[in-house]
Homo-oligomer: A and B are copies of this chain.
């Protein structure tokens, strides 16, 4: 008896509002009061669903990292070869397409928290490792298929993400989207070389 709980859905709504605000104004300028204002609800309601601000931030990070994992998801058609899928994924990783979907500012803002919050550090570590593993599995599938030859798939996946993370780190400091794409384009061939592929079609 009594009223039905809206906890999960309401928490999600609050996190989404928090995400939007933090993306625009920065994490340090995103207060409970401001989130409440943007939703036209009472600040106390946010405290009601997340007991503390800290808990809300954890929720925000989970939400953000889930989005981040999405950089790996490319529409897969079952009739495609493993190699085709692999190349599509790499193409996707080195494009700024998913930039609209995902916000780097928040990603780095929360990353800074990993140094003082062990829970957050683990969250990041888990996601980064998952991504490496996913890519490694994609490489393995291509190897089994016989379409590429790679001795240590996980190593290649690891190196790929090192280059990728390093490249995006730098590229975020460029203002011109054209420059960004150029720079990213420079590094894609280096990753393909790791896979023993010498440029497919550069267009």
Contacts and interface: CB of A to CB of B under 8 A. Distances in A.
Contacts of A105: 112, 115-116
Contacts of A112: 26-27, 105, 108-109, 111-112
A76 interface: no
Interface SS of chain A? helix
A128 B173 CA distance: 10
Interface string A7-37: 0000000000000000001111000000000
B166 A114 contact: no
Interface stretch (A67-75, A81-89, A93-101, A155-163): A155-163
Interface string A138-165: 0000000000000000000001011111
Contact of A165 (B111, B161, B166): B166
A119 interface: no
A58 interface: no
A91 interface: no
